[in-house]
Amino acid sequence: MGKVGKEKPSVGRAAPYRHVGVQLKHGGTGYDFGQHLLKNPLVTVAMVEKAAVRSTDVVCEVGPGTGNLTLKLLEVAKRVVAVELDPRMVVELQKRVQGTPLAPKLQIIHGDFVKAEQPFFDVMVANIPYQISSPLVFKLLSGPPFRCAVLMVQREFAMRLCAKPGDELYCRLSVNTQLLARVDHLMKVSRNSFRPPPKVDSSVVRIEPRHPKPQVNFVEWDGLVRLCFGRKNKTLPAIFNTKLVLAMLDANLRTHCALAGKPVPDTPIKEIVAEVLRSVGFEEARSAKLDLDDFMRLLTAFNSRGVHFC
């Protein structure tokens, strides 16, 4: 199966782990290192069940490794598209299905999922390399439609994906992901379910994209959210009234006015910001407590006054 985590080599470490003749890499660069293969069959079966894979589905798996999860998916799906960066794992996966009835149902793409063109699929089920978790999730949610993704990720990353306003781990990742998808925490997975065990526990999450996608400029939305979560426990006036932020908003205002052929307002940008925050009742609000609707109201109020974040 796929690889998770990333550990640096240390002096005196035991001999490298091997799996079906393949030495698992640890340390180095690139996410084909830090390889930890899922050995618990109950977790594999549960992931397939939670994804509710249909016999007509094309399933995508990122980081299949030697194929423990892949074989389970091939048994129930119409076709499996496995994207693997490590050429040694590609060879092992090919060997594992060669000459079996499952072989025609498997398509292997040797490459980097984050950088490559996204293949068509209905469902993704994967034990993804931890270090590409965030870019992979946002590539998924910004790409072609799919029904759902059931992903094994580092437990803290899972908690951030699912965090709600007021939670300690509530952050920009939480807000941006939940804008585009419904995220559910399905189960915890002990580090002892892997060979060799990583240094952290894992979780399985289910991500279901919102259809239709919210009608919002995501680049601008992210600009606002990034700014707010730079100091999430400060009040919004304390965040927006710094010299750097006011200068940025003023420059954006002037640029948008010029592009629209409109005159720049006479009201100073600091007063506009204060009026916007007052209009939505956020003079004492803090980013850590705002939900999706709050951020949407805030963005709409700023945009109505010609203030933009990109």
Convert the pLDDT of each residue in 238-250 to its tens digit.
Answer: 999 999 999 999 9
The pLDDT value given to residue 38: 84
Are 273 and 240 contacting, i.e. CB atoms less than 8 angstroms apart?
yes
From the list 298, 303, 301, the residue with the least C-alpha distance to 286 is 298
Banded pLDDT at 30 (limits 50, 70, 90) = very low
Please give the annotated binding residues, written as ranges.
36, 38, 63, 84, 112, 127
State the average pLDDT for the chain: 90
The pLDDT value given to residue 302: 98
End-to-end CA distance of the chain: 40
The pLDDT value given to residue 26: 45
Please give the annotated binding residues for S-adenosyl-L-methionine, written as ranges.
36, 38, 63, 84, 112, 127
36 pLDDT more than 70: yes
d(CA 151, CA 168): 23
The pLDDT value given to residue 198: 86
Banded pLDDT at 22 (limits 50, 70, 90) = low
d(CA 209, CA 140): 9
The pLDDT value given to residue 113: 95
The pLDDT value given to residue 31: 37
189 pLDDT more than 70: yes
The pLDDT value given to residue 14: 41
Taking 3-state DSSP, the helix, strand and coil percentages for the chain, each rounded to the nearest 5, stand at 40, 20, 40
75 pLDDT more than 60: yes
Asked if omega into 9 is within 30° of 0 (cis), the reply is no
The pLDDT value given to residue 10: 41
Q: Which amino acid is at 74?
A: L
135 pLDDT more than 70: yes
Other beta carbons less than 10 A from residue 184's beta carbon: 15
78 pLDDT more than 90: yes
- pLDDT tens for 191-220 read 988 888 888 999 999 999 999 989 999 999
Q: Is the pTM of this model over 0.75?
A: yes
Banded pLDDT at 130 (limits 50, 70, 90) = confident
25 pLDDT more than 90: no
